Amino acid sequence: MTTSPEQQKTLYRHLLLTRLLEERMVSLYRQGKMTGGLFRCLGQEATAVGTAFALEEGDLLVPIIRDLGATLVRGARPVDILRQVMTKADAPARGRDGFLHFCLPEKGLYSAIAMLGTAVSVVAGMVLADRYLGKRTVGMTYLGEGGTSTGAFHEGINFAAVQKLPLVVVLEFNRYSYSTPSEMQCGAATLADKAAGYGVASAIVDGNDVLAVVEAARRAVAWARAGNGPFLLECKTYRRKGHAEHDGQAYVDAEELAEWTRRDPIARFERHLDAAGVMDAAAREAVRADIDAELDAAVAEAEASPAPVPDPEFRGVRADEEAAVRRRAETFVGGLR
């Protein structure tokens, strides 16, 4: 299945939106307006955008910290993401948490799970439940190379393999886990090699080539949906920033970083769009201007959003909500209500 010119334009918008939204977040972070850490995906946008693009409506997606692009492809609005990272009262998590727990279940987008690897068995359970309900849902989740060294990953993928569950695990090989280079925490030559131990299918794709990622992800999703069991899709990419914004990445070789900057996935796709006559520089500039305007409005709206008050902290966590809110309010913040 080829990716039509219209789809390529959509992909371009998602890639650029991911990068520009992240730049807005960096600015908010530096102004002290963001809550918690900022985990960037600079250089990895094509992996998250391309893989999520291969899913269909009704499918499930559980991202991790570097999958802002997948979250946007699933239909998240920048203003809601900004409200969430600024822990505003009208964010989807109502000010309880930041980006990690952004989720829109109605769009098949669930929140990341902090314990690396755990999402594999959780998503396996979700698609197993859908199978019982007679749905042909595919679940997609993501892991870095460090995440594939956890016990949870192995338990989850083994269970999914035995049950032949429609699960696609995108392995984002981005060279570092925190400050640990890949060869210091993984003995296998490639992450895809791990699939053989479980009788699971796998492939490796250039994670900086968005069209190649879309193609590979479509094949993985089709394989899983057809009842063949899970698929491990290794996307070779590179984390151009430290683990989080506070990490100065002193452990990274400058020449290595420069080399991967030259391999930037967005600049590369722009060259393709030019050569294929899909979008010229002027058309791309128009997209950028449109996104800039959208983000100006989104930042202003999110900044103007109300801060949470303690009361909602107790809401939505118990069935007998009123009684629970009253009891906890009396216990912890006496006199709140």
Ligand X SMILES: Cc1ncc(C[n+]2csc(CCOP(=O)(O)OP(=O)(O)O)c2C)c(N)n1
176 binds ligand X (CB under 6 A): yes
Q: Contacts with ligand X in 102-131 (CB under 6 A)? A: 114-116
Segment contacting ligand X by CB under 6 A, of 27-35, 49-57, 82-90, 140-148: 140-148
CB of 187 to ligand X, least distance (A): 15
- Tell me the β-bridge partners of 167: 139
Contact mark string toward ligand X, 53..82, x via CB under 6 A: -------------x----------------
Rounded-to-10 torsion of CA 206, 208, 210, 214 = 40
8 binds ligand X (CB under 6 A): no
d(CA 96, CA 156): 28
Order the strands of the 139-144 sheet from edge to edge.
60-62, 139-144, 167-173, 231-236, 201-206
CB of 96 to ligand X, least distance (A): 19
Cβ burial of 193 (10 Å; 0-12, 13-18, 19+) is: middle
101 neighbors 115 (Cβ within 8 angstroms): no
Nearest residue (CB) to ligand X, 146 versus 166: 146
Among 27, 36, 178, 283, binds ligand X (CB under 6 A): 178
Number of residues that bind ligand X (CB under 6 A): 17
145 binds ligand X (CB under 6 A): yes
Nearest residue (CB) to ligand X, 47 versus 202: 47
* Residue 137: DSSP 8-state: -
d(CA 221, CA 203): 12
Enumerate binding residues for ligand X (CB under 6 A): 66, 114-116, 143-147, 150, 172, 174, 176-178, 239, 243
